[in-house]
């Protein structure tokens, strides 16, 4: 991953931290599952009803319901009566690149740690720790 992309992602993380306050533990718990990230991406790609999600994921109602509830509680999706839609917070997180694959996540963690060492800005340290937490709990 190019240094410029990492820098843009880190700046976006900091801006979204300030604007959305997304360091809420519920957000990171919700993002700690590959299944929930898949559900969130499907909702962003247009699968908006429970039935559409269930058919695409081939998941039992109870299991899917649990994952959807975690996303709802974290404020990453909302139900509008006809289906689910991603919130501004979820879209901001997608823009920051936090919903990235492991290699990019590792690069972002390293960059946040380097920025903390270089600047002493504790926001970078908080971001690095939060990203490590997400990585440690991410399951496929």
**Tens of pLDDT along 3-53?**
555 566 566 666 666 555 556 677 777 877 778 888 998 998 888 899 999
Per-residue model confidence (pLDDT) at position 3: 53
* Cross-strand pairs, 139: 33
Q: What digits encode the pLDDT tens for the residues 49-95?
A: 999 999 999 899 999 999 999 999 988 999 988 899 998 888 877 66
Coil vs helix vs strand at 80: coil
Domains and CATH numbers, the chain: 3-137 (1.10.10.10)
Report DSSP state, residue 58. Answer: T
* Cross-strand pairs, 79: 84
> Cα–Cα distance between 50 and 43 in angstroms, integer?
10
> Cα–Cα distance between 8 and 40 in angstroms, integer?
23
The verdict on pTM exceeding 0.85 is no
Residue 36 CB neighbours (<10 A): 22
* Cross-strand pairs, 86: 77
């Amino acid at each position: 991953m190019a240094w410029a992309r990492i820098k843009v992602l880190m700046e976006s993380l900091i801006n979204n931290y300030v604007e959305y306050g997304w360091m809420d533990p519920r957000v990171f718990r919700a993002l700690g599952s590959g299944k929930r990230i898949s559900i969130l991406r499907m909702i962003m790609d247009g699968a908006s009803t429970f039935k559409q999600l269930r058919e695409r994921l081939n998941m039992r109602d109870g299991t899917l319901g649990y994952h959807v509830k975690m996303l709802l509680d974290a404020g990453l999706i909302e139900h509008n009566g006809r289906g689910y839609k991603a919130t501004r917070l979820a879209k901001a997180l997608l823009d920051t690149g936090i919903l990235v694959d492991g290699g990019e996540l590792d690069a972002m963690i390293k960059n946040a740690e380097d920025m903390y060492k270089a600047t002493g800005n504790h926001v970078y340290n908080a971001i690095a720790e939060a990203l490590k937490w997400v990585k440690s709990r991410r399951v496929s």
